[in-house]
Amino acid sequence: MSVLLEERLYYYAMIPGGCALIFTLFEFVFGEMIVEKSYPSETRKIMDAVDKMPEEVSNGLLNCLKTVIEDLRGCDKTLVLATIHLKVNVTISKEDRIQVFGLLQIFPYFQIGMLHQEFVSSKEKSGRILHGYKGIIGRCMRTENIESVNFATVDEYNFRMVNEFGFSKDEIEKHTFSARSYFAAPFKSNSEVIGIIYLFTKEPQVFPKAVDKAKFISTANHIVDILQVGKIIKTKANTGP
């Protein structure tokens, strides 16, 4: 398994050119279509496995998220939230059998120092499937690269979420406005991206510089091992270069 760790620079303004505009509109329209969805049998199996995840598997993955946060450098680690998303297929047209990928969030957002009761009470966010063509995690899955983005103000966040990341104005009203720095990294099995580790914090300009590359890769490998042993994913991890 290898984790792709290439930093990408985001720009405040929209990318010029007709192709970029068409792609942005595609992200927006296609993302809205996914509301009319159904899940293929393989996706339902993954969802069921996540829902019935053994405690030792759950604890192992949560310990990995804790390690990811603890390994960060030069930031307030208590402000960082983290979760794991798995790539799944979603059928958006039963007649034509059109499938796109979605991102299954397997945990609520984890934070160091969070009490067990607080974590359990936030379970409503786990098990949801997010649009695979929206936001930083959607971009991360498409590019198969590290994606990080920083926002100086709420106005910048609102502008870029609509014009760069494919959300509607109504959708961003439901987002967290207090976060300023975001990080999404793909992890692989047999050369195929199967999921994303996602972090964000209220502190500005934290990512990607806070991430220790070697330590992050080691923990990401361990996450894939746990997912495989726990039978959440079936493919065997490729730990080669």
Task: Judge whether residue 1 has pLDDT over 60.
Answer: no
- Ordered by start, the domain boundaries in the chain are 18-229
Q: Is the pLDDT of residue 177 over 80?
A: no
Kindly state the average pLDDT of the residues 131-158.
90
The residues that bridge with 101 in the sheet, in sequence order, are: 89
Alpha helices in the chain (DSSP H): 18-33, 41-51, 55-70, 116-121, 135-143, 154-163, 169-172, 213-229
Strand 129-131 relative to strand 181-189, pairing: unpaired
- Provide the sign of the torsion angle of the four alpha carbons 198, 50, 86, 133, taken in this order: negative
Q: Each residue of 31-85: pLDDT tens digit?
A: 333 434 678 889 999 999 999 999 999 999 999 999 999 999 999 999 999 999 9
Token pair of 24 as six digits: 């942005």
- What DSSP string runs through 131-168? ETTSHHHHHHHHHTS-EEEE-SSHHHHHHHHHHTS---
Mean pLDDT, range 137-163, rounded to an integer = 91
Model pTM score: 0.77
Please name the CATH architecture into which domain 18-229 falls.
Answer: 2-Layer Sandwich (3.30)
Q: What is the pLDDT of residue 8?
A: 39
Confidence of residue 14 (pLDDT cuts 50, 70, 90): very low
